[in-house]
């Protein structure tokens, strides 16, 4: 939902604008989608402060607290395409931070969503990348635990329960996007009985990479591709049962092309 929404917002904004339209970084982690947006008049910039005029679209991952106000101060237009799930996480972090809770944010420290989320923790907080990180923690009395919306659901549950067991009071926020957790559960169910698995999505997309990791652990013949051009028919010799899934940030038209190619074999 967040991806489709952000894409549509960007395309609609460019269609109505007489000035340049930019996203601050790639709108979503999918190069084909970024290329599609460029063809529709939406360019990507790494630093919005280099933009002199036009409109900045806040990407689906969100931006650090206060960024929108700073953009407006420069007399640039702002259109917020932050995924509603990410907005909910931002509000939860702010709420519990202001109530004196120590915030544990679980996810990839380099991911733009994490950079956004941690800016809303105005008190003490810590980023946790994985279970090994969590094992080193001795939490204070009151903690709030929240994850990147595309984090591995089962891994988050393990980390959350560990931290909760070491704190006097713990609030666990169910922040993982339902589409992400559903796909992960489906892949666990389907990949074990598959002869091959194809995961479609950007190589830089964290949730797509996790889908591929889950699938590969159950079915060694797993292929993570961005387009059908990366698939070789010889890779599917002897395959009777083939499973296809896609990352949450993969536009439908790309997944459909991969499926059409596989059906043609």
Two tokens at 103?
């915030």
Where do the structural domains in the chain lie, given as residue ranges?
A: 2-83, 85-176, 179-263
Domains 2-83 and 179-263 share a fold: no
CATH code given to domain 2-83: 3.40.50.11270
pTM of the model: 0.84
Give me the catalytic one of 19, 113, 186, 228.
Answer: 113
Q: For residue 117, what pLDDT is reported?
A: 97
CA 110 to chain centre: 12
- pLDDT tens per residue across span 214-257: 999 999 999 999 999 999 999 999 999 999 999 987 888 899 99
What class is the 85-176 domain? alpha beta
pLDDT at 179: 83
CB neighbours of 58 closer than 8 A, spacing ≥ 6?
Answer: 24, 67, 68, 78, 79, 80, 81, 82
- pLDDT, residue 31, reads 85
Q: Tell me, what DSSP letter sits at residue 101?
A: P
- pLDDT (tens digit, 9 = 90+) per residue, 48-104? 999 999 999 998 889 999 999 999 999 999 999 999 999 999 999 999 999 999 999
- Yes or no: say if 164 and 219 are a contact pair by the CB < 8 Å rule: no
Its CATH class, for the domain covering 179-263, is: alpha beta
Band (4; pLDDT cuts 50, 70, 90)? confident
Verify whether residue 73 is a known catalytic residue.
no
């Amino acid at each position: 939902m967040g991806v489709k929404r952000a894409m549509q917002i960007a395309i609609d904004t460019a269609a109505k604008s007489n000035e340049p339209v930019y996203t601050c970084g790639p709108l979503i982690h999918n190069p084909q989608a970024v290329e599609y947006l460029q063809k529709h008049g939406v360019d990507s910039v790494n630093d919005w402060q280099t933009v002199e005029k036009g409109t900045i679209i806040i990407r689906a991952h969100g931006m650090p607290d206060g960024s929108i106000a700073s953009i407006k101060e420069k007399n640039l237009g702002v259109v917020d395409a932050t995924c509603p799930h990410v907005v909910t996480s931002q509000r939860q972090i702010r709420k519990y931070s202001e109530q004196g809770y120590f915030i544990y944010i679980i996810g990839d420290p380099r991911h733009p969503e994490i950079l956004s989320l941690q800016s809303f923790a105005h008190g003490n907080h810590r980023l946790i990348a994985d279970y090994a990180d969590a094992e080193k923690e001795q939490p204070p009395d009151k903690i709030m635990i929240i994850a990147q919306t595309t984090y591995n659901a089962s891994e988050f549950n393990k980390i959350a329960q560990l931290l909760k067991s070491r704190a006097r009071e713990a609030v666990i926020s169910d922040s993982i996007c339902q589409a992400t957790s559903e796909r992960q559960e489906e892949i666990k169910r389907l990949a074990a009985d598959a002869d091959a698995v194809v995961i479609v999505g950007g190589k830089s997309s964290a949730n797509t990479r996790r889908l591929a990791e889950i699938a590969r652990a159950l079915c060694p013949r797993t292929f993570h591709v961005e387009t059908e051009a990366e698939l070789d028919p010889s890779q599917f010799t002897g395959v009777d049962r083939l499973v296809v899934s896609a990352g949450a940030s993969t536009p439908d038209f790309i997944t459909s092309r991969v499926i059409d190619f596989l059906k043609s074999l």
